[in-house]
Structure 1
Amino acid sequence: MSLDLHHRAVVADAHNDLLMAVAARPPERWGSFFRERWLPQLRAGGIDIQVLPVFIDEQYRPEGALRQTLRMIECAHVLAEENAEHVALCLDGADIDRALAENRIALVLALESAPGLDASVELFSTVHRLGVRIASIAHWGRTPLADGSREDATGSRLTAPGTLAVQEMERLGMLFDISHLGASGVAHVLELATRPLIATHSNARALRDHHRNLTDEQIRGVAATGGVVCVNFIPDFLTDDQAKVGVDRVVDHIEHIASVAGTDHVGLGADFVREVIADVTPPCCENTDGEDPHFDFPELEGPAGMPLVTEALLRRGLPEEDVLKVLGGNMRRLMAAHLGVRKEDLGVREEHLGVREGRTAVRDEHKAARTEGTAHAAR
């Protein structure tokens, strides 16, 4: 029952750093490495919409960050072009619908902390032209746009360029991602936002008091914009007790966020990063400053484990309708209405959404056949 529901659902993962691992290979290997290493995992996990963040490690900052950002964006285009039978790089909701109807995984490009853009807000338009549709403006520490959550003690709001970045992203139709943003920065963005926000990989601070997680007030704030909070699977953000690490703890956070914001505002942002870190970090150079979280989660170390979440949600007694929303329905709705839609076109787009929603059943017919064809599709 749970596996059948999982493969009928549209499953969206708002955060997987796999692009880092692919881009670490020579360019001539990008397409084949993705096809051999990651495509089978995504297919096995039933992933339909995959957000691909561009994140740049510290060794490239600040001088090489922009060049590496462009390189990773190019990597996304290449892997999509060389695997066009299986995936599609999508710029808006219509692209996503088309990809799903063709049984292809919809890939969406994101920037994590806007590496290399610094205070040059005009470059958001540049990366938008290159296909980026989601962005955050800080990671653990300080950027020219904002402070990350590790800097909460500063009480800093967005910088002047940071406030302009919010406005520019809203104008372009890029979803603003509050994950990793410091608490005062989140409050500032909630004051500024006129379009839905997204937290691509954040949990409930009420269940795990960690600076990377969101308070109930912040969760309600995201929901009030019409946005979605996507639950992170990294153990340290789920609990401070390793004995409690498991799929049920993921569901605890999903249920809490739903109780605070409603089931229309919860999604999944797994952050399957253990394999990526193993792929790109030499053993001699591992981070030892105590800041990086632990990643030991045997059940959910990669996309192939995603059906376990569906099983746990059903076991917890969530109605099928709510499970479908959490797995990807909420993310799909948000992207259909706002992804790639410029602010001046928003009213026109909303008028046509009713027509597009009426075609959903037709576009989703591929899901019924997918249960039988998963292995074949990953060939």
Structure 2
Amino acid sequence: MGHLVQIIESGGVTQAIARETDGSLTAVYDPRTPGKALVVDDAPQAKVERAPIVVSESARRLHAGALLIDGHNDMPWEIRKQADSQFGRLDIATRQPTLQTDIPKLRDGGVKAQFWSVWVPVDTMRRGTALTTTLEQIDLVKRMVAAYPETFATALTADDVERIAGEGKIASLIGVEGGHSIENSLAVLNRLYDLGARYMTLTHSDTIEWADSATDEAKHGGLTPFGEDVVREMNRLGMLIDLSHVSPDVMKHALRITKAPVIFSHSSARGVADHPRNVPDDVLPLVAQNGGVVMINFFSGFLVPEAAARDVERMAFRREIEASGADEGERTTALARWDREHPLPRGDVHTLLDHIDRVVRLAGVDHVGLGSDYDGVNVLPRQLEDASCYPVVTQGLLDRGYSEEQVRKILGLNVLRALRAAEQVADRKTP
């Protein structure tokens, strides 16, 4: 098996990155010929950790001036879970070791705008509480903005995002994660938009009555007629269609009928890590044709090939115990035991950059962004442990030869363009 080695410099540290033909990576230190590639022999090599990225002052300046927009963060549910939705019990103005996100981390990370997920569990759909719980999560985000007015401000438009970032605050947008939240009602979809939701993920982990999930049995072969109506209504409203979590058939179906760019708010590239939550190679050119954006998820289980395979096994195990009739406590215990016995390989920030490269190669640099999924995942790559770590991504992109303009696009300008385009397609005067 051959290896291609790219000699690069990261913040003044020279390293050689070796890529095997199967896509796996090794790293060796080589102080020679930075910026050149060479082919090395076919002798077997032990895989070693790649050298950490060192952030230079010039990269920090670029990062500080960029409009960093993250597509997905699950901190609202963690506040609900850890503090009964009360910021007085978990003050995010101070560093919180139980959270991947808090205000100091966001500031250190240079985040200028954040889509906050108002995810609710899919089983709320079966209990008839999906909408109520979603409204509670929207209320939580609104209370957060009100509780920390020096840090956050509500953004409803692309212009709002730019204005708020220019004021030195973090523009806060809302994303509904899963079509189960609308309880099969376009009227509910409209009201969620009125409350500030600016994207909706069509499904979460379960197939729903009008769309197939990537991680559940396909029942519809894409979207049902009502699912098509949902897409059209989101276009009319100016609400971004989020295709994370949906099956490839739903991805292609939605891309055929939407009039506005779509986003994948927190998905990675399936050509690098074969996980059903990732975007297949044959979909990426369609995203480019649509003008959409794939926002790369930071979860190791979606980034690292070995971790992706293990996470697929975990999903199958979870389905088995759910089908067994075990109660919630038994399911939680069984999954915790499985996780202890099958730890996911973490990978590193280089793995994330591999996914960005893949999307750029097949869709173009105008169609990739960042959707960390912080506080929604439990295993993260080295150097991406929390929301303070984004500057490492900027340095890594520069190391791989991306221009400053391209880095700014990836950090946020691409998704800002998609949001503005969705607004321009909107026709809210037509009921």
TM-score normalised by structure 1 residue count? 0.81
Greater strand content: 2
2:365 paired with 1:263: yes
- Structure of larger gyration radius: 2
Is the Cα contact below 8 Å between 2:347 and 2:382 reproduced in 1? no
2:247 paired with 1:182: yes
| Pairwise CA distance, 1:295 | 1.3
2:123 paired with 1:21: no
What does 1:148-163 align with in structure 2 at a 5 Å threshold? 148-151=213-216, 154=219, 156-163=221-228
| Partner Cα distance (1:239, 1:153) in 2 | 25
| Partner Cα distance (1:215, 1:108) in 2 | 27
Is the Cα contact below 8 Å between 2:210 and 2:220 reproduced in 1? no
Aligned to 2:261: 196
| Partner Cα distance (2:425, 2:118) in 1 | 21
Cα–Cα, structure 1 residues 155 and 172, in superposed 2: closer, same or farther, change >3 Å?
A: closer
| Pairwise CA distance, 1:85 | 1.5
Secondary structure of residue in 2 paired with 1:211: coil
Match of 1:3 among 43, 60, 68: 60
Secondary structure of residue in 2 paired with 1:255: helix
Higher-RCO chain (CA-CA 8 Å, sequence separation at least 6)? 1
Cα–Cα, structure 1 residues 74 and 197, in superposed 2: closer, same or farther, change >3 Å?
A: same
Aligned to 2:421: 337
| Partner Cα distance (2:424, 2:383) in 1 | 35
What does 1:227-306 align with in structure 2 at a 5 Å threshold? 227-241=292-306, 245-273=347-375, 295-306=379-390
Cα–Cα, structure 1 residues 26 and 296, in superposed 2: closer, same or farther, change >3 Å?
A: closer
Is the Cα contact below 8 Å between 1:69 and 1:115 reproduced in 2? no
Cα–Cα, structure 1 residues 105 and 201, in superposed 2: closer, same or farther, change >3 Å?
A: same
| Pairwise CA distance, 1:204 | 1.2
| Partner Cα distance (1:30, 1:136) in 2 | 30
| Partner Cα distance (1:98, 1:227) in 2 | 23
Aligned to 2:273: 208
| Pairwise CA distance, 1:229 | 0.9
| Partner Cα distance (1:316, 1:125) in 2 | 43
Aligned to 1:96: 161
Match of 1:115 among 180, 187, 190: 180
Match of 2:283 among 218, 226, 239: 218
| Partner Cα distance (1:165, 1:344) in 2 | 14
Greater helix content: 1
Cα–Cα, structure 1 residues 194 and 33, in superposed 2: closer, same or farther, change >3 Å?
A: same
Residue type matched to 2:417 in 1?
A: R
Residue type matched to 1:23 in 2?
A: R
TM-score normalised by structure 2 residue count? 0.72
What does 1:37-56 align with in structure 2 at a 5 Å threshold? 37=96, 38-56=102-120
| Pairwise CA distance, 1:168 | 0.7
| Partner Cα distance (2:89, 2:111) in 1 | 18
Cα–Cα, structure 1 residues 61 and 102, in superposed 2: closer, same or farther, change >3 Å?
A: same
Is the Cα contact below 8 Å between 1:10 and 1:48 reproduced in 2? yes
| Pairwise CA distance, 1:245 | 1.1
Deviation per CA, 1:162-215: give whole Å up to 9, x if none: 111101110001000001111111111111111111111111111111111112
Residue type matched to 1:247 in 2?
A: V
Is the Cα contact below 8 Å between 1:174 and 1:340 reproduced in 2? no
Cα–Cα, structure 1 residues 155 and 68, in superposed 2: closer, same or farther, change >3 Å?
A: closer
| Partner Cα distance (2:76, 2:363) in 1 | 31
| Pairwise CA distance, 1:58 | 4.6
| Partner Cα distance (2:282, 2:123) in 1 | 36
Cα–Cα, structure 1 residues 303 and 244, in superposed 2: closer, same or farther, change >3 Å?
A: closer
Q: Which runs of 5+ in 2 are unaligned?
A: 1-57, 97-101, 308-344
Secondary structure of residue in 2 paired with 1:251: helix
Q: Which runs of 5+ in 1 are unaligned?
A: 278-293, 347-379
| Partner Cα distance (2:172, 2:89) in 1 | 14
| Partner Cα distance (2:417, 2:222) in 1 | 30
Match of 1:320 among 404, 415, 425: 404
Residue type matched to 1:17 in 2?
A: D
| Partner Cα distance (1:31, 1:322) in 2 | 41
Aligned residues, how many? 328
| Partner Cα distance (1:27, 1:184) in 2 | 37
Aligned to 1:79: 144
Deviation per CA, 1:209-232: give whole Å up to 9, x if none: 111111222111122111111111
Q: Please give the root-mean-square deviation of Cα atoms over the aligned residues, in Å.
A: 2.2
| Pairwise CA distance, 1:263 | 0.7
